[in-house]
Structure 1
Amino acid sequence: MFKKYLYGIPLFVLAFAILSVSVMRSTAVSYVFATPLSSPTAVLNKVTEIDYELPFPGKVLPDSMFWVFKVMRDKLWYGLSFSHLKKAELALLFSDKRLGAAKILFEKKKPDIALSTLSKSERYVEIATNEEDRARKEGVDTSKFLEKMTVAALKHRQVIEEEILPISPEDAKPEVIRLENYSKNAYKTSRDALYSKGRSVPINPFDRP
């Protein structure tokens, strides 16, 4: 009898993952743009390089028919992690990978799905920040993650402002700029948390006069 229930657990988890992906796909924000992509020559002057390396997004991107399987994997991975700090780390990883994927999709002249991917990326930034806050309130030392989060937020802002925004369609730019607020808020939240711990904080080159 015990083995029967044991064998049923993976099936239940798989069914739950498929249901989660289906709900996510049905509620996902979609974008349609009519204007052509901006010329890459309009790139803004770069600020100081942010010392943070984004992970490789993988060969399977959101424009692939196999993307749903990567989403299922991420959902399972996240759902089976019970530590708030671990969830924060995973959310940041998912965010970083989707940021890289969004940039590639913009370069491939697929702005609709690219912006949708960027939206998911930045929402994962917010999830990471919220999970870190929960972990910290439980007494977990999140200092190292906060340090990583501040630099990651700056990197996201750099990529969005300097690499994605210049090649976005004109009618997509307002939404790209709005999505950047997630990283701005993440930096401020993590910065303040580090200050409260008496820790040093990476300088924000974007707010220099």
Structure 2
Amino acid sequence: MANDNLKAIWRAGSMLAFFALVGVVLLVVVQWLTKDQIAENARLMKLQRLHEIVSAADYNNDLLASAQTLPLSIEGLADTAKKYTASKSGTAIADIYEVTSLQGYSGPISLVIGINADNSLRGVRVISHKETPGLGDKIETSKDDWILQFAGKSLQNPELNRWKVRKDGGDFDQFTGATITPRAVVNAVREVLSINE
């Protein structure tokens, strides 16, 4: 009887090990077969985000190949940023920075910030955030047009000391019941404009 129990346990363990091995092999094969497609999808998604700032018709270089990783030591921002340069026939028309503000209400806010060659803002878009739905999520273009107000602005328009939300004495609106989120975005945009000059 004990011998039958041992055989049953061994058989069940062997079957479990076999199916685990088959599962691992299938996972590795599927990953290997789809890795190129996954990489291409990630590349296209990145380009789509960057094209919200600079249209594909506005440049003719390989925008993703222009990427540089920049170290940052700015309070409130993550310690690295990515910079992409859009050029037309060898002339830079805009730099696009991918940065993360650490000052969001519910966590980091990742942004792309486009700056024209004349140091004016081309545009700002949110890549990801965890802000409160119905309050802080108004930084998304699908929820509100608040973030569109940055286009055309520079450190001279408004003056540097006005690059704050209205509650702090600046020129930028905050949301009712949500000041921290807009403050984080305004601060990040101001800092990126400062490092680009």
Flag whether TM exceeds 0.5 (same fold).
no
Bigger share in helix: 1
How does the TM-score come out when normalised to structure 2?
Answer: 0.32
Which protein shows a greater Rg?
2
How does the TM-score come out when normalised to structure 1?
Answer: 0.30
Bigger share in strand: 2
